[in-house]
Chain A
Amino acid sequence: MESTWFILVMLMIVAYAVFDGFDLGAGTLHLFISQTDSDRRTILRSIGPVWDGNEVWLIAGAGTLYFAFPALYAVSFSGFYLPLHIVLWLLILRGIGIEFRAQLSREIAAGLFDGFFALSSGLLALFFGAALGNVIRGVPIGADHWFFEPLWTTLLPWGDTGILDWYTIFTGIFTVIALAMHGALWISLKTDGGIRGRVSMVANRIALILGIFTIVGVPLTILARPATVANYLRHPVLFVIPAAVIASLYLAWIWNRGGRELPAFLASCAYITSALAGVAAALYPALLPSSYGPQFDITIFNAATGSYALRVGFIWWGLGMALATGYFIFAYRMFRGKLQEDSIG
């Protein structure tokens, strides 16, 4: 049951990364690739009706973590105290930025809210990436099962690091780039005309940079925590995951160049999914490794709640996910196709 919930929690994280990922990426890019206010509005409209539904996965994911693995929820949320609250502030700013931009019709307000939106989208991607980096690298959990990390201490690869260090900043930037490509492919899928051509060209360039990051990322990760390869060496079949990472990135790049928008976007989804799956495979059964040694790791076994709670949770969770999936299919179907050129002012 614990392993089932490990997979389910990972699935929710993947869903969050794939869905909210494209609107974070689009938000990061929208100031850079827009030439006119109409461009900016078009990009915002391409994510407007779906962004808050996408964020549901974060809320539901955190809730699921809370009831299935309370110890992980408690230890990690308090240990990552400061960055987590900063993420929450950014989520607030971003939500207000996109929801109320049109309310304040004066141009200066629109500029301000666009700024909030772009900055918070980019920083959120950076923080989520850094959080992932921390989970991979491990955190200083000691014998008392708790830890607390400052935001940063030293950027050098030795000594007591903070939440942001050379490795997690790398994973943060990596994530910003990956989501920027994801977002660019989404915008290209939803738009037409000049903006589509520009955004597709941007996606093409980002894909190349992302390729370099992906290749450099593997040795850096092994350097940050050698134990990440243990599961792979024990079960060589897992090497299919990194292969899928490379293949999907290549396909996203090729299909985007060929103007095949939907396949390119789906390949980007597969890229994010397989990259996260690669991390999950390296971690299992740990949820949050300790940098002091595996005996202090938070694993699915020492973090899970009682088996009755896990079983009963499975029932309503399944029901909730069925409803959510139905809603997502409905919402995205209603929103399918290209946006009309600025039909709503």
Chain B
Amino acid sequence: MNDALFLHRIHFAFTITFHYLFPQLTMGLAPLIVVLKTLAIRTGNESYNRAARFWTKIFGINFAFGVVTGIPMEFEFGTNWARFSQLTGGVIGQPLAMEGTFSFLLESAFLGLFLYGEKRLGKWGHWCAAFLVFLGSWLSGFFIIVTDAWMQHPVAYARLPNGSFTVTSFWGLLTNPWALIQFAHNMCGALATGAFVMAAVGAMYLLERRNHEYGRIFLRVGVIAGVLASMAQGFPTGDLHGKYLAKHQPVTIAAMEGLFKSETGAPMVIIGQPDAEHESIDNPIVVNKVLSFLVYGTTAAEVQGLNAFPKDQWPTNIPLLFFAYHIMVGLGTVMIAVMAAAAFLLWRRVLYCARWMLWIVLLSFPCPYIANTAGWMTAEVGRQPWLVYGLLRTTQGYSANVNAANSLFTLLGYMGLYLALGILFVFIMVRELGNGPAAAEVHSIQPGTPIATA
């Protein structure tokens, strides 16, 4: 692997990973804010409105960080992946441009309406504004998923005489089955982030013995949403995604599972360290026949191992892929367990005073962030050595005219800048959480201040 290619890959990986910390929370919070607004209307309890306002403020801060870290992403396709962009812009330029044109605009417009319109719109109008913020943020996510799904599973394209790809069916591109499955799986993950964060803040307030009323609301809504999201994350969306992956990228599944040789009744490795050189797994702990069952629904089925494929089609970093996938699945399981236990205690009406459980809920808020990041790494590392699966290799896509030093220079620049941003973000979040929901008052209609600080 030559230096420039490696640096361009790290460059994109670093900036996208940092960026996605913010949208996953905004996409997850948006539907929960709609739930809070619905509860406010149904119960007539003003606390729900104040809770919604509080979370809208958190949403706004994350939205602003998401926007400023998202803008570089749109440009990095061109700066660091120029040959890829030149060849594929005729296809994936469409969803990316749609994201820029529609969703971003609608999101900021609706967010403005939601933030400043509470008095003027009335309770149903304001509910609609919240719903539109939700719709806008999920639409935005959909266009990005469509882009990635086309790279994973290219559909609806033709090649022009100069070798570049152009889209042949707009609807075919948008309804790529891969995109629909991936979107469902991804949005469950985002919802889990929103739910875990909301529940953790609720748990924190109860542990601190302040903001009792809000602590209970956050915990109740967060735990119920959390248990639904983390279960749906595994089944059906994760299950479907895995089966679809096995059908279209069987070599990826083999590498994810560390299955070097084809086997009938293939085992599932729970923990181990794949050794790609010797084509074996060190220190494996396995469960027999589970992999065959998970992929094909029967323990007798044969699962193709890596040896069934030519080596030049193997994912380039098998250990990383293996770990990313196992971290995702492992944490996903932990998340289901935590939320199921919390939901059980909620049902038994003892959650609010079960301090040990509140501690667990509070401390588990990083889980969905890590699991979502690991999930995206699984998807993107698993797609290697291809940029566009089966059509364009990663080695053919980077900006060959930009040398390694330039890429390293800007990578270091982003690292420094994002470190500062991260510190600022933590500082602002800690302060907002300290202020608490009781401070969240209605804003005047005059839009005199920027969105995030409103």
Contact = CB atoms under 8 A, between A and B. Distances in A.
A35 B447 CA distance: 25
Contacts of A64: 97, 100-101
B428 A96 contact: no
A56 B105 contact: yes
Contacts of A327: 105-106, 109
Interface string A181-207: 000000000000000000000000000
A306 B167 contact: yes
A302 B289 CA distance: 55
Given A91-B68, A306-B166, A98 B79 contact: no
- Size category of the binding interface on chain A: 35 or more
Contacts of B69: 92
A49 interface: yes
* Max chain B Cβ within 10 angstroms of own Cβ: one of A62, A69, A74, A146: A74
Given A64-B101, A67-B93, A91 B79 contact: no
A308 B167 contact: yes
Contact of B100 (A60, A80, A330): A60
B139 to A, nearest CB: 12
Interface string A66-80: 111111011111111
B440 interface: no
Given A85-B413, A99-B64, A312-B170, A306 B101 contact: no
Nearest to A308: B168
B78 A320 contact: no
Given A67-B96, A335-B447, A75 B453 contact: no
B103 to A, nearest CB: 10
A316 B168 CA distance: 15
Contact of B78 (A78, A99, A302): A78
A95 interface: yes
A49 B112 contact: yes
Nearest to A321: B101
Nearest to B452: A99
Given A70-B90, A81-B79, A306 B160 contact: yes
Given A67-B90, A99-B453, A102-B449, A88 B104 contact: no
B79 A78 contact: yes
B421 to A, nearest CB: 7
Contacts of B305: none
B410 A82 contact: yes
A59 interface: yes
A70 B74 CA distance: 13
A100 interface: yes
Contacts of B446: 343-344
B168 A62 contact: no
B94 A67 contact: yes
A45 B74 CA distance: 28
A296 interface: no
Interface stretch (B263-271, B296-304, B351-359, B398-406): B398-406
A63 B453 contact: no
A100 B428 contact: yes
A66 B79 contact: no
A91 B450 contact: no
A302 to B, nearest CB: 8
A197 B100 CA distance: 39
Contacts of A305: 89-90, 93, 160, 164, 166-167
B158 A306 contact: yes
A92 B87 contact: no
A324 B88 CA distance: 27
Nearest to B453: A102
Nearest to B167: A309
Interface string A296-332: 0000001001101100110011001101100100110
12 contacts: A53-B108, A59-B74, A63-B99, A67-B92, A70-B93, A78-B80, A81-B402, A91-B68, A313-B97, A327-B106, A330-B109, A344-B444
Interface of B: 64, 67-69, 71-72, 74-75, 77-80, 82-94, 96-102, 104-106, 108-109, 112, 158, 160, 162, 164, 166-168, 170, 399-403, 406, 409-410, 413-414, 417, 421, 424, 428, 431, 444, 446-453
Nearest 9 pairs of A and B residues by beta carbon: A70-B89, A67-B93, A77-B78, A63-B97, A305-B90, A306-B166, A78-B82, A74-B86, A63-B100
Given A49-B449, A53-B105, 19 more contacts: A56-B108, A62-B78, A66-B77, A70-B86, A73-B78, A73-B85, A77-B82, A81-B410, A85-B410, A99-B450, A99-B451, A99-B453, A302-B162, A309-B166, A312-B94, A320-B102, A324-B105, A331-B447, A334-B447
